[in-house]
Amino acid sequence: MSNNKVVLSDTDALSSTPSAVFEALQHPLRREVVCYLTVHECPISLAEMVESMFVCEKASSDDRRRTGIDLHHNHLPKLMDYGFIVYDTETNTVERTCDISVLEKSLSLASRHS
């Protein structure tokens, strides 16, 4: 994984681009990923993250596989575009790029306006 992280400050993530925060966190899966990254050590494998997301649910292996594919192709790249995460497609690992407090504030802002 590259050491060239885009680090979001409170100003970047919240003040100057609130519409970007809403767009980035519009989908429930993206909110779940960001929430997950606030409480787990990074980097984390995509497979481990998907398994953890379904730990309390009776999801089939097909559901888990589809979620992993959806995250890989759609949601993780979008979160990366907005600077919330780095997703290494070679190792399939995810890492947050900003402080946990910024992620929590972003989630709070998005939930108040959804």
- Helix pair 46-53, 61-70: axis angle to 10 deg: 130
> What pLDDT is stored for residue 103 in this prediction?
76
**Which tens digits make up the pLDDT trace of 46-96?**
999 999 888 777 778 899 999 999 999 999 999 998 888 999 999 999 999
Q: What's the burial of 29, exposed, middle or buried (CB within 10 Å: 0-12/13-18/19+)?
A: middle
Percentage of the chain lying above the pLDDT 70 cut: 83
Domains of the chain: 11-112 (1.10.10)
> What pLDDT is stored for residue 24 in this prediction?
84
For the record, the structure tokens of 68 come out as 């992993």
Q: How far is CA 55 from CA 52, 66, 84, 87, 107, in A?
A: 5, 16, 24, 22, 22
Scanning the structure block, which residue is given the tokens 């995460």? 85
Q: Is the pLDDT of residue 9 over 70?
A: no
**Which tens digits make up the pLDDT trace of 88-97?**
999 999 999 8
